[in-house]
């Protein structure tokens, strides 16, 4: 499991890479993820920050995506 400095590094990288980008589709590869993620409307990511070891992405529709790096410390997006 990544420690706090590693999570902060990933958040800073995500801020540069995804802030202002548009989400067109989303898929979940984990059974613990809410199935509604597949029906997310096309939205833009306004901001990325962390709270403890959670990564929070603020969307332009007022909603949020809450993620955690889990045991691997990997975050994949395309």
Catalytic residues: 2-3
Please, which residues bridge with residue 48 across strands? 57
- 58 - beta bridge partners? 47, 64
Whole-angstrom CA distances from 55 to 5, 48, 70 are 13, 7, 11
């Amino acid at each position: 499991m990544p420690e706090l400095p590693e999570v902060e590094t990933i958040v800073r990288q995500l801020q540069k890479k995804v802030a202002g980008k548009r989400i067109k589709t989303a898929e979940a590869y984990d059974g613990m993820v809410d199935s509604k993620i597949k029906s997310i409307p096309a939205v833009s990511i306004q901001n990325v920050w962390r709270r403890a070891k959670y990564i929070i992405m603020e969307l332009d529709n007022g909603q949020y995506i809450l993620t955690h790096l889990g045991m691997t410390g990997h975050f994949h997006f395309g």
